[in-house]
Structure 1
Amino acid sequence: MDLSQLLSPQAVKVVSDVTSKKRLLQCIADLAEGLIGLKSSEIFDALQERESLGPTGVGHGVALPHARLTDLTEVKGAFLKLERSIDFDSADRQPVDLVFALFAPSDTGVDHLKALALVSRTLRDDALCAKLRANSDPATLHTLLTEAQASQAA
């Protein structure tokens, strides 16, 4: 599994108008609706339900919200770069500006965990995160993410 399988170029967005965690989750759900073909409200509810179990802000300005969805057939992702950081209840109490959301079929097990591990490993790279923060072009962000992961595998 690699990021180019999880993340299409259309799944990368720069967001300037998000001011809260709830609004961010809605923005993710709206973006994902067009990518995975499920209703935004269903996606939002699944993201909210997962967040109620514990925040998915992993630290260093990164969040990995994720949800399992009944009518999904494969793991898919979306990446959002926020122009203004927001509070995401992260463990390190740092605001979040890089968000990689994952959506998995409800009956998948190991693929969902592998995808989470892959994204987490990729976004632990401080140099990559600095490059992501320095760019605002969605195509460039997609390239940085997919090439970074490919170079880590080499």
Structure 2
Amino acid sequence: MDLSTLLKPAAVKVLTNVTSKKRLFQDLSEIAHSAYGLDAIQTVDALQEREMLGPTGVGHGVALPHARLHGLKSVVGVFLRLEKPLDFDAVDRLPVDLIFALFAPKDSGVEHLKALALVSRTLRNVETCAKLRANSDPAALHAVLTAASGGVQAA
């Protein structure tokens, strides 16, 4: 598994003005709908439900919101780079500007966890995050992510 199997180029965006976590989840859901045909309302609800269990801001400006959805056949992702970092209740209390959302089938087990681990390892790499923060072109962001994960294998 690598990020090129999880992340379509159409699911990579740079957003300039996200003002709240709720707005971010709406944007993620709209992109997931456009790229993968996911139901936007179900997606927002699932992201908010998961976030109530505990914040998915993992630190160093990175958030990994994720949710399980009915009707999905495989794990898919959406990546956003925010121009203006957003308070996300992250573990280190720092605002986030790199968001990788994962959506998995409701009954997925190991595949969802493998995908989450892969994304987490990829975004823990300081050089990868620096490259992502230095780019505003979605195609370049997709290339950075897929190249970075190419050598990282999910356990």
Q: Same fold per TM (> 0.5)?
A: yes
- 3-state SS of 1:19 partner: coil
Aligned to 1:41: 41
Return the TM-score normalized by structure 1. Answer: 0.97
**Does the aligned pair in 2 maintain the 1:79–1:98 contact within 8 Å?**
yes
CA shift at 1:73, angstroms? 0.5
Return the TM-score normalized by structure 2. Answer: 0.96
- 3-state SS of 2:51 partner: helix
Whole-angstrom CA distance in 2 between matches of 1:38 and 1:14: 20
- 3-state SS of 2:151 partner: helix
The number of aligned residues is 153
Aligned to 1:5: 5
- Residue 94 (1) aligns with residue 112 (2): no
CA shift at 1:152, angstroms? 3.8
Structure 1 consecutive aligned stretches of length 4 or more whose deviation exceeds 3 Å: none
| Equivalent residue letter for 1:4 | S
CA shift at 1:39, angstroms? 1.8
Aligned to 1:105: 105
- 3-state SS of 1:121 partner: helix
Any unmatched runs of 5+ in structure 2? none
What do you get for the CA RMSD once the two structures are aligned?
0.8
CA shift at 1:5, angstroms? 0.0
**Does the aligned pair in 2 maintain the 1:36–1:72 contact within 8 Å?**
no
Whole-angstrom CA distance in 1 between matches of 2:118 and 2:70: 22
CA shift at 1:151, angstroms? 3.4
CA shift at 1:132, angstroms? 0.4
Aligned to 2:127: 127
- Please list the CA deviations of residues 104-152 of structure 1 after superposition, one character each: whole Å capped at 9, or x if unmatched: 0000000000000000000000011011000000000000000011134
